[in-house]
Structure 1
Amino acid sequence: MKKLIVLLSVIMTGLSSTNLSAQEVGTVSVSGEGIVNVVPDQVIIRARVEHEGSTAQEVKQQVDTDVQKIFQYLKKNGIDDKHVKTEYLNLNKQYNYQTKQSRYHANQSISIKLVNIKDYEKIIAGLMESGLNRLDGISFTSSKEKELLAEARKKAMLDAKQKATEYASALGQKIGKAVSIYEDMNAGGHYPMYKTSMMNAEADGAGGPTIALGEMQISTKINVKFALLD
């Protein structure tokens, strides 16, 4: 019985030593960033149709009429239905305590994606003629967004590997396999960098630039943990 207890003690001690050794394997944690710049080739227009009147039915009908004209114009000019979306529709009653009268305000917000950025000037002019009376803003995108994000991820991994190698080298060590990889989704993004080509206006005889295309910056940040080797 005593021999069995001693044998078990030796086995448990050996297991504890093995676990301790596994826990003591060194690692180095680093972050890597990947950035890819590209000139955008698509644009998203965010705009509104809004009207004010004395009755809810009146303003709602005015908005509906203009929106129908806009949809017809977009379809006529080859804009696919999947690239046109109603963001929201509002109808509000506003009471004036001085005049003791109510006014109604209705608006509908629309987003339009142009897959050919060269159509921007023509489409904007046509939208205004069709009844659009408020432009809320535009944003640029790229048709190669997925491919560019994949390229940014590769750059981020290589950046992380280089950092880890430098840290390990300073200690006279090398890096092994990656133990864990985590992509920080909050750190990446698509940021316009207004520093390159300009789009010229042809509408109304204007010859100067109306929007700056610039460059989109597609970026991502990755946190990687590497094993350290002696």
Structure 2
Amino acid sequence: MKKTILVLMTIVMTTLASAQEIKQIPQISVSGEGKIKVTPDYAIISIGVENTGNDAAEVKKKNDQTVDAVIKFLKGFKIAPADYQTKQVYLHKNYDYNKKKTSFVASQQISVTLRDLTKYDTMMMGLVDTGINNIQGVEFKSTNLAQHEAEARKAAVVDAKKKASDYATALGQKTGKAIFVTDNSQTNFPQPRMYAMASMKESADGMPQETLAIGEIEITSNVSISFVLD
């Protein structure tokens, strides 16, 4: 029994000594940031139609007619079937207690992926003509997002190493290997915009109006790194 206790105490003491040794390693902890700005090359547009009336079948019929026109238009516009999809179908019964009347609201949302942003205005004018009455937003994307995220991470590490080297030099020391890394990266996409239903006409000078501000996708990588100080 005494031998077992002695062995356990030896293990505990060795563990504590190792932990203390790790804590005493001279080190420096810094953060680094890398930013990459990318011009989007495609967009996901959320469109929809909504009708209200006193008869459920009638409002649904109106919605179905518009959706049918939308799908036919998208096919004619050479949008691939995989690039448009129904996201929501909604039929709801409302009761107005003041007027003692019942009404029905039918709506359907469709997501459309546009891979040629130069065709945005032409496509939207065609969709408005089909009868859609709301555009919920536009989300911009990049087909090379993973590559750009990797570039941002590398830039963040370079930034962290530069900071660590600056501090170490000021202390008369040098940085060694990295012993701890924490990554916290994020991608900020251009904010979706809400569009009111209005006729899309040419401007006063006869030139087509430009109604889409593409902006840039900002990919930010933040990293915390601890380096050994030599």
State the TM bucket, normalised to the shorter chain.
0.7 to 0.9
The 5-angstrom pairing of residues 88-167 of structure 1 reads 88-167=88-167
Q: 1:205 maps to what in 2? A: 202
CA separation of 1:223 and 1:18: change in aligned 2, threshold 3 A: closer
1:180-213: CA deviations, max 9, x gaps?
222214xx222439xxxxxxxxx63332432222
CA separation of 1:89 and 1:162: change in aligned 2, threshold 3 A: same
Q: 2:76 maps to what in 1? A: 76
CA separation of 1:81 and 1:181: change in aligned 2, threshold 3 A: farther
- Note the C-alpha offset of 1:166: 1.5
Q: Is the 8 A contact 2:139 2:189 kept in 1?
A: no
When the two chains are superposed, the root-mean-square deviation of aligned CA atoms in Å is: 2.6
CA separation of 1:90 and 1:172: change in aligned 2, threshold 3 A: same
CA separation of 1:10 and 1:46: change in aligned 2, threshold 3 A: closer
Long gaps (5+) in structure 2 = 1-8, 192-199
- Note the C-alpha offset of 1:11: 11
Aligned-pair identity in percent equals: 34
- Note the C-alpha offset of 1:93: 1.2
CA separation of 1:75 and 1:15: change in aligned 2, threshold 3 A: closer
Distance 1:10 1:45 in 2: 67
Distance 2:56 2:90 in 1: 11
The letter of the residue matching 2:126 is G
The 5-angstrom pairing of residues 1-230 of structure 1 reads 20-185=20-185, 188-192=186-190, 204-206=201-203, 207=207, 208-229=209-230
Deviates most, 111-120 or 212-221: 212-221
The letter of the residue matching 1:137 is G
Distance 2:75 2:113 in 1: 13
Q: 1:4 maps to what in 2? A: none
Question: Which has more strand, going by share of residues?
Answer: 1
- Note the C-alpha offset of 1:26: 2.0
Task: State TM-score, norm by structure 2.
Answer: 0.80
Distance 2:98 2:18 in 1: 85
Q: Is the 8 A contact 2:54 2:103 kept in 1?
A: yes
